[in-house]
Amino acid sequence: MISRGKARAYSNIALIKYWGKRDEKYILPMNSSLSLTVDCFYTETEVVFSNSYAKDYFYLNGSLQDESATGKISSFLDLFRKAADIDMKAIVKSTNFVPTAAGLASSASGFAALAAACNVASELNVGLRELSMYARQGSGSAARSIYGGFVEWQKGTNERDSYAVPVDDAKWDIGMVIVVVNSNAKKVSSREGMKRTVSTSPFYRIWSDKAEEDVKEAKLAIKNRDFEKLGLITERNGLMMHATMLGANPPILYWEPESVLVMKMVKELRDEGISCYFTMDAGPNVKILCRMSESNRIKERLMEVFDEERIIVTGPGPGVVILAL
Ligand code: FM0
C-alpha cells in the first residue's frame, strides 16, 4: 500500500513575538503572537507513506539527512500515524525556496508544509484550524504559516485550543524588506534561547502580559488600517523581546553591528517621511515592515551600505497550498 501528499507553505515574520513556552511537549506558548506571512520564502514537501519502507527517510534540498534530523521528522509523522491509525514508514522530501543562500531557513514554513502534506498522505484530512495545531507541535511559529496575510496564534488554554486564526489578508500596501546581515557568531536556536530566557531572565516576568496586550492593539491597528500604529507596536514589541534575552543567564545577544546600523537607518528613513519599522528574530537579520509602494526607496537607501543580494523585498504571502503529485 502507498499513499502520498504534497504541499507548499510560506514563511512568516512575527510582528508580536512568540518567545517562551508554558508547555514544551505540546508547544504551548506563554503568550499569543501575530505575524505576517511572506511570499519570498517557502517550503515544498512531499510525504509518501508505504508499507514497503523499513524506516523513515528525510531528504532536505535533495540530500538524505542524518539520524538526528530524521528523528525529529519521525516524531512529527508519529502524530499523524497515531491519529490516522497507520503504521507505514515514510519518505519525506522537502525543498526550501530561499532568495539567497544566507541562512534564512525557516522551521515555520518547514513544519507547516510537512503538516499539510501529512494531512493529505495520511488521509486524515483535518481542517485548517486543526492543521495549525499539528504544525504547532513541530515548531510553534509554524502554526501561523497555515494562513496567509496577518495571522494570530492564540495561546489558548490547553493543547486542543492553541491554534492560529487568520486576521487580515494584508492586501493593503503592506510589504517587508529583509536585510541579511552576515554573522559568524555562534547561533543559539530559538528553542534554546527562549527556554533559557524563561528560566533565568528576571525581565521575562513582565513580557507575556505586555505581549498579550500588544496583540490586541496590533489587531485593532490592522482593523483600522492604522499602519503607523501597527509599526510602532511591532518595533517596541521586538525590542522588548530582545530585552528579555539580555537579562538571561548567560545573556543572549543576536545583534551584529550591522543590525544596529539598519535600525538607525530605519529611524532616519522615518524622519524623512517614509513609514517603516524594524523587527528582529533569533538572529542578526533585520526585517523592515513597510508600505510595499515605498519598498524600493527603502531598498535603494540600504544599497548604499549593503550588496543588493542581501536585501530582499517581499509582499504578503498566502496560506498553505496543496500541490498536485
Ligand atoms: O516567530 O521552539 O517557532 O514569533 O522567531 O520551534 O517552537 O522557531 F524571534 C523569535 C520562533 C521565535 C519569534 O520560535 O520555536 C516568532 C521567533 P520552537 P520557533
Residues 156 and 245 in one domain: no
**Ligand 1: nearest atom to the Cα of 12:** 1
Distance 190 CA to ligand 1 centre (A): 5
> Residue 37 forms beta bridges with which residues?
12
Residues 41, 81 within the same domain: yes
Domain that holds residue 28: 2-170
Give the pLDDT confidence score for residue 182 in this predicted structure: 75
Atom of ligand 1 lying closest to residue 281 CA = 9
What single letter denotes the amino acid at residue 61? N
Which of 108, 138, 170 is the endpoint of a domain? Answer: 170
Within this chain, do residues 80 and 214 fall inside the same structural domain, yes or no? no
Instruction: Using the mean position of ligand 1's atoms as its centre, give its distance from the Cα of residue 22 in Å.
Output: 14
N-term to C-term CA, the chain: 17
Whether residues 11 and 159 share a domain: the answer is yes
If asked whether residues 139 and 252 sit together in one domain, one would say no
The answer to whether residues 145 and 183 belong to one domain is: no
Nearest residue to 262 via CA among 279, 275, 246, 245: 279
Query: What is the distance between the alpha carbons of residues 295 and 288, in angstroms, rounded to a whole number?
Result: 9
Do both 8 and 154 map to the same domain?
yes
Helices (H) and strands (E) in the chain, counts: 8, 14
Check if the beta carbon of residue 32 is closer than 8 Å to that of residue 211. Answer: yes
Average pLDDT, the chain: 96
The three cell numbers of residue 117 are: 502534506
* Residue 272 in grid coordinates: 524623512
- Would 325 be classed as within a structural domain? no
Q: What's the residue count for the chain? A: 325
Per-residue CA distances from 171 to 167, 174, 267 (Å): 12, 7, 25
Question: Which residues of the chain fall short of a pLDDT of 50?
Answer: none
Give residue 194's pLDDT. Answer: 98
The domain total for the chain is 2
Where does residue 273 fall: left (phi above 0), alpha (psi -120 to 50 degrees), or beta otherwise? Answer: left
